[in-house]
Amino acid sequence: MDAKTLCLGALMLGDASGYEIRKFYEDGPYSAFHAVSLGSIYPALNALLTDGLVTVCEMAQDGRPAKKVYTVTEQGKAVFMRGLEGSPGADRFRSDMLFILAFGHVLPPARRTALLDGYLEEYQRMRAELAACIDANPDVPAGRRFVRDFGLAVYEAVITYVAENRHILEDVVDDAVKEKV
Amino acid sequence: MDAKTLCLGALMLGDASGYEIRKFYEDGPYSAFHAVSLGSIYPALNALLTDGLVTVCEMAQDGRPAKKVYTVTEQGKAVFMRGLEGSPGADRFRSDMLFILAFGHVLPPARRTALLDGYLEEYQRMRAELAACIDANPDVPAGRRFVRDFGLAVYEAVITYVAENRHILEDVVDDAVKEKV
DNA sequence: GCGTCCATGTAAATGGTTACATGATTAT
DNA sequence: ATAATCATGTAACCATTTACATGGACGC
């Protein structure tokens, strides 16, 4: 998803500043499937402003820098909904870890184990974070409930798979000695 | 993973041409987690050649254009193995579909159902393809076995989740009428 | 005839991230 | 003191993908 659509999507759920949009996609339960950096949010927001899809309101805050709060216009909402009509591109699951683990059987056993431990910990951390987030606000609309539970299901599947199948990699001491690739 | 590492990785499993490397990552059981296009493979291969990490051999074929088959050098293997040492970046699961479905409860019911049907079909197709690929050659080294079974586990988790939870989105006819976002 | 697979390569276009630039406040 | 959080914005940099360029063989 391009930065403009991502910004518009966040604003559909409520007014926000660029900084807040970044937080929304970085921390929240949607971080599993989407990402945007500030370097693309700010230009996107200005482009949306030029196109009349959002309006701004500069909000002074004490003890903090002023922030620019953006609001979607009616036109912006229409454009967003129309953008949802096209057929979505295929999901992309990219993993450096799995590239490395594809050669796991020729890695030093200690490294292999460290890698698997770290991988499991990382997913367990993400699962716990998402679960906490779901517990914190259980009453979100169906769409978002579907997506965040989806995330939980994927995290769980990964954790279960790795825990149950890491032996495939760790039981190959003999093979490693034979220098098989 | 950058194109050069991806090429080197494919060549670690056997000599190949650029075209064949693309096929390896596009069709095979590794397509779930990695991707490279020809536009980045050919320049990558030439860079590896310049660095002495691979060698080429032009192979004439009858009825077909000649192909350049690349082979990893000892230095190439060493560089590749060293490249595996760094700590891998986090997994990235990006999904336009889930972005759209996050607004699924305000989509026209017919569109919503079509989207979910298509999504399920797509994952079922990928699962079947991967399963067939696994059946076709069951005896791969542990590393690759771990990765491709990982893919299968993820596909299965997605299919199960969507089948069992699509009702979350499809049961909101009432809400849609109330124009809730 | 038309599309697809084989096969390589370059260049333009794309779209992002990272780093830079600035600066106040608060927590450790 | 030092780092982190809040807050915006620009520009350099990076790596891709897409399209272009070329061309024979094979199936429909």
Chain C positions with an atom below 7 A of a protein C-beta are: 6-12, 15-19, 23-26
Question: DSSP class of residue A106?
Answer: G
Residues with Cβ within 8 Å of A96's Cβ and at least 6 positions away in sequence, in order, are B1, B88, B89, B91
State the pLDDT at residue A46. Answer: 96
State the pLDDT at residue A174. Answer: 56
How far apart CA B134 and CA B111 sit, in angstroms, is: 34
Reply yes or no on whether the pLDDT at B177 is more than 80.
no
**Which residue has the closest alpha carbon to C7 C1'?**
B65
How far apart CA B8 and CA B74 sit, in angstroms, is: 12
User: Could you give the angle at which helices A38-50 and A3-12 cross, rounded to 10 degrees?
Assistant: 80
For residues A123-136, give the mean pLDDT.
93
Q: How far is the CA of B100 from the C1' of C3 (A)?
A: 34
Residues with Cβ within 8 Å of B151's Cβ and at least 6 positions away in sequence, in order, are B29, B32, B33, B130
Mean pLDDT, all residues of chain A? 93
Name the token pair of A157: 């599947």
Q: Residue B158, Cβ neighbours under 10 Å: how many?
A: 24
State the pLDDT at residue B178. Answer: 52
How far apart CA B135 and CA B133 sit, in angstroms, is: 5
For residues A142-171, give the mean pLDDT.
97
State the pLDDT at residue A66. Answer: 86
Q: How far is B42 from chain A (nearest CA, A)?
A: 20
Percent of chain B with pLDDT over 70: 95
Instruction: Pick A94's closest partner by Cβ from B92, B154, B157.
Output: B92
The pairing of beta strand B54-61 with beta strand A64-72: unpaired
pTM for the whole structure: 0.92
Question: DSSP class of residue A86?
Answer: S
Q: How far is the CA of A83 from the C1' of C11 (A)?
A: 31
Question: What is the identity of the amino acid at A174?
Answer: D
Reply yes or no on whether the pLDDT at B68 is more than 70.
yes
State the pLDDT at residue A61. Answer: 82
